[in-house]
A and B are shown apart, each in its own frame.
Chain A
Amino acid sequence: MDFHKVGLSDSEYKTILEILGREPNALELELIGVMWSEHCSYKSTRPLLKTYPQKGKHVVQGQGENAGVVDLGEGWGLAFKVESHNHPSAIAPFHGAATGIGGIVRDIIAMGARPAVSMDGLFFGDSNLQKTHTLAKEVVKGIGFYGNAVGVPVLGGKTFYSPAYNGNPLVNAFGAGFVRLNKIASSQTAKPGEFAVLVGSKTGRDGIAGASFASRELDENDNASNPNIQIGDPFEEKLLIECCLDILDKDLMTSMQDMGAAGILSSSSEIAQKSGCGIDIQVLQIPLRDKGMEPWEIFLSESQERMLLIVKEENLDDVFKITKHYDLDCKTIGTLTDNRRYKVFKGDELIANLPIDILGDTPVKFWPSEVPADLSERQAIDLSTLKTTSPAEDILKLIACANGNSKHRIWEQYDSMVQLHTIMGPGSPVAAVEVPETKRACLLTMEAEPWKCFTDPYLGASETMALSLRGLWLSGADALGMTNCLNFASPEKSERFYELKESIKGLADTCRELDCPVVSGNVSLYNETVSAPIYPTPLVVTAGLIINRDEILKAGMTRSGDKIYLVGENDGSLGATRYQKMKNGKPLGKTVEPDYENEKLFRERAIKTAREKTANSGRVLAGGGLAVALANEAISSGVGMNISIKPQTTVESLLFSEGGARAIYSVPNNKIKEFENTWNGFSFDCIGTATGDSLSWDNLFTIPISDISKAFLEGE
Chain B
Amino acid sequence: MKTSIVVFPGSSCDRDIERAISETLNTQVDMVWHEETTFSNDPDLVILPGGYSFGGYLRSGAMAACSNIIEAIKTHAAKGKMILGIANGFQILTEAQLLPGALIPNTSLTFICQKAYLRVEQTENMFTSDYKIGDVVQFPIAHHEGLYFLPPSELKELEDAGQVVFRYADPVTGESGAEYALEGSLNGIAGICNKKGNILGLMPHPERATFKHLNGGVDGIAFWKSIAKAFGERGGF
Please name all residues of chain A whose beta carbon is closer than 8 Å to the beta carbon of B187 when the two chains form the complex: none
Please name all residues of chain A whose beta carbon is closer than 8 Å to the beta carbon of B13 when the two chains form the complex: 151, 418
What distance in Å separates the Cβ of A223 from its nearest Cβ neighbour in chain B?
Answer: 25
Could you list which residues of chain B lie within 8 angstroms of chain A, going by C-beta atoms? 9-10, 12-13, 15-16, 19-20, 33, 50-52, 54-57, 110-114, 140, 142, 144, 205, 207-208, 210-211, 213-216
Taking CB atoms and an 8 Å cut-off, the chain A residues in 540-565 that contact chain B are 549-550
What distance in Å separates the Cβ of A49 from its nearest Cβ neighbour in chain B?
Answer: 35
Sorted from nearest, which 5 A-B pairs have the closest CB atoms? A235-B55, A151-B12, A420-B16, A149-B52, A415-B142
Given contacts A235-B57, A417-B208, contact A150 B113 (CB under 8 A): no
Please name all residues of chain A whose beta carbon is closer than 8 Å to the beta carbon of B140 when the two chains form the complex: 417
**In the complex the two chains form, is A238's CB within 8 Å of B12's CB?**
yes
- Measured CB to CB, the nearest residue on chain A to B33 is A325
Tell me the complex Cα distance, A133–B33, Å: 42
Verify if A144 is at the interface (C-beta below 8 Å from B).
yes
**In the complex the two chains form, is A412's CB within 8 Å of B10's CB?**
no
What distance in Å separates the Cβ of B116 from its nearest Cβ neighbour in chain A?
Answer: 12
Tell me the complex Cα distance, A151–B51, Å: 7
Please name all residues of chain B whose beta carbon is closer than 8 Å to the beta carbon of A367 when the two chains form the complex: none
Please name all residues of chain A whose beta carbon is closer than 8 Å to the beta carbon of B211 when the two chains form the complex: 420
**In the complex the two chains form, is B9's CB within 8 Å of A238's CB?**
yes
Verify if A239 is at the interface (C-beta below 8 Å from B).
yes
**In the complex the two chains form, is B10's CB within 8 Å of A238's CB?**
yes
Tell me the complex Cα distance, A326–B10, Å: 10
Please name all residues of chain B whose beta carbon is closer than 8 Å to the beta carbon of A144 when the two chains form the complex: 110-111
Please name all residues of chain B whose beta carbon is closer than 8 Å to the beta carbon of A233 when the two chains form the complex: 55
Please name all residues of chain B whose beta carbon is closer than 8 Å to the beta carbon of A672 when the two chains form the complex: none
Please name all residues of chain B whose beta carbon is closer than 8 Å to the beta carbon of A418 when the two chains form the complex: 12-13, 16, 50-51, 142
Tell me the complex Cα distance, A194–B12, Å: 33
Given contacts A326-B9, A420-B211, contact A148 B144 (CB under 8 A): yes
**In the complex the two chains form, is B16's CB within 8 Å of A416's CB?**
no
Give me 15 A-to-B residue pairs in the complex whose CB atoms sit less than 8 angstroms apart, sorted by A's number.
A148-B52, A148-B142, A233-B55, A234-B55, A235-B54, A236-B55, A413-B112, A415-B142, A417-B214, A420-B207, A420-B214, A421-B214, A422-B214, A423-B214, A550-B213
Tell me the complex Cα distance, A414–B114, Å: 9
Taking CB atoms and an 8 Å cut-off, the chain A residues in 342-377 that contact chain B are none
What distance in Å separates the Cβ of B108 from its nearest Cβ neighbour in chain A?
Answer: 9
**In the complex the two chains form, is A239's CB within 8 Å of B9's CB?**
yes
Q: Which of A235, A325, A417 contacts B216 (CB 8 A)?
A: A417
Tell me the complex Cα distance, A144–B112, Å: 10
Verify if A419 is at the interface (C-beta below 8 Å from B).
yes
A145-183 vs B, Cβ < 8 Å mask (1 yes, 0 no): 000111100000000000000000000000000000000
Tell me the complex Cα distance, A235–B213, Å: 31
**In the complex the two chains form, is B215's CB within 8 Å of A424's CB?**
yes
- Measured CB to CB, the nearest residue on chain B to A549 is B213
- Measured CB to CB, the nearest residue on chain A to B52 is A149
**In the complex the two chains form, is A419's CB within 8 Å of B16's CB?**
yes
What distance in Å separates the Cβ of B29 from its nearest Cβ neighbour in chain A?
Answer: 15
Tell me the complex Cα distance, A424–B56, Å: 28
- Measured CB to CB, the nearest residue on chain A to B182 is A412
Tell me the complex Cα distance, A276–B13, Å: 41
Tell me the complex Cα distance, A350–B12, Å: 45
Please name all residues of chain A whose beta carbon is closer than 8 Å to the beta carbon of B56 when the two chains form the complex: 149, 235
Please name all residues of chain A whose beta carbon is closer than 8 Å to the beta carbon of B113 when the two chains form the complex: 411-417
Tell me the complex Cα distance, A550–B140, Å: 22
Verify if A688 is at the interface (C-beta below 8 Å from B).
no
Please name all residues of chain B whose beta carbon is closer than 8 Å to the beta carbon of A238 when the two chains form the complex: 9-10, 12, 52, 55
Given contacts A413-B113, A420-B20, contact A235 B214 (CB under 8 A): no
Tell me the complex Cα distance, A151–B208, Å: 14
Tell me the complex Cα distance, A235–B53, Å: 8
